Amino acid sequence: MTSLTQAAPTTARTGQPVRGRRLARFTPYGLIGPAVIAFAAVLGYPLVRLVWLSVQDFGPRSLFTGEAPFVGLGNFSRVLGDADFWHVLLRTLIVSVGCVVSMMVLGFLLASLLRLVSNWARVMLSVCLVLIWAMPMVSASMIWRWLFEPQYGVLNWVITQLHVFGDFSAHDWFSSPGQALFLIIVLIVWKGLPFIALTLYAAMGQIPDDLYEASALDGAGRWSTARHVTLPILGPVLAVLVLLEVIWSVNSFTPFWVLTQGGPDGGTTTLGVYSYLEAFTRNDYGGGAAIAIVTVVLLAVLAVLYVRRLIASGEVTA
């Protein structure tokens, strides 16, 4: 009898860690559960509706009758068989690569500069970066439009006053696809640069100073230190930033629409603009939805391959 009463507390005590471990196993799911539910509620239905719309022949007639015949993969076959789609896809890839490479290089240099300047200069520069990042893209695009306006643009006036490149008083920057695309890329880089710079600056602050001191004792210069110390340690952060910027660059819509609406002659049309034009200009809502689904699939495949490559190389652990 005495042995049984003594064994009961022992069993209870040993059971508590087991229940604690079981509870700890489900704690992460409980923490991310509300975010997953909110994400599914906000984006779940639109995504399902978009998928369903992409397999329907939904045109202007469907808006009045409510009838949209099921066409299966017909919209996808038509979109992928269109030569314009592949031109737009190539242009989107070129824009994305240009934006991401520019932002990563300039962001790293700007983050390094933040570590070298004095405290007051760092604060002022950080405030300017945050203000740029906080500005809505629509407002930034409108300001960009005014800066490069042919008749009253500030840039044209400055270039004309320099008397170096001739008279630019009536030069229309957005009449040439090459110039318009370049200006849009510059705008996207300018708008996204603060996020990259401030994130890398915060990550650089976590690198121990001992590593830099050891590198200096070995006689390494700034470039060697950045190459062999800073960049390897920042590898996981850089990997996440590259992936995010690729997604954001491909999905960029506002600067293209506000500045050129995909023109001139479709020279600045990217996948986001192409999907919008297909749906709301040509009234082919099924085709526009198919283009959007193709964009999502391409980004998902790219993200999976990119992450798997990073895991295989050891830069990011699973």
Could you tell me if residue 86 is inside a domain? yes
Could you tell me if residue 65 is inside a domain? no
Task: Residue 100: name the closest of 228, 234, 251, 210 by CA.
Answer: 251
CATH number at residue 256: 1.10.3720.10
Range of the structural domain that residue 295 is part of: 78-313
The reported pLDDT for the residue numbered 20 is 67
The reported pLDDT for the residue numbered 291 is 95
Neighbours of 141 (CB within 10 A): 20
| Angstrom distance (rounded) from CA 74 to CA 221 | 59
Neighbours of 211 (CB within 10 A): 14
How many domains would you assign to the chain? 1
Could you tell me if residue 204 is inside a domain? yes
| Angstrom distance (rounded) from CA 109 to CA 48 | 42
Could you tell me if residue 42 is inside a domain? no
Could you tell me if residue 288 is inside a domain? yes
Q: Are 174 and 260 in contact (CB under 8 A)?
A: yes
Place of tokens 């030569």: 83
Could you tell me if residue 2 is inside a domain? no
Angle, helices 177-204 vs 119-134, to 10°: value is 130
Place of tokens 């239905």: 45
| Angstrom distance (rounded) from CA 105 to CA 231 | 12
Could you tell me if residue 21 is inside a domain? no
pTM, entire model:
0.85
The reported pLDDT for the residue numbered 143 is 92
Could you tell me if residue 318 is inside a domain? no
> For each of the chain's 318 residues, which pLDDT tens digit applies?
444 444 444 444 445 566 667 777 778 888 888 888 888 888 888 888 899 999 999 988 887 887 888 998 999 999 999 999 999 999 999 999 999 999 999 999 999 999 989 999 999 999 999 999 999 999 999 999 999 988 888 988 998 888 888 888 888 899 899 999 999 999 999 999 999 999 999 999 888 888 888 888 877 777 888 888 888 889 889 999 999 999 999 999 999 999 999 988 889 999 999 999 999 988 899 999 999 999 999 999 999 988 888 888 766 665
The reported pLDDT for the residue numbered 16 is 56
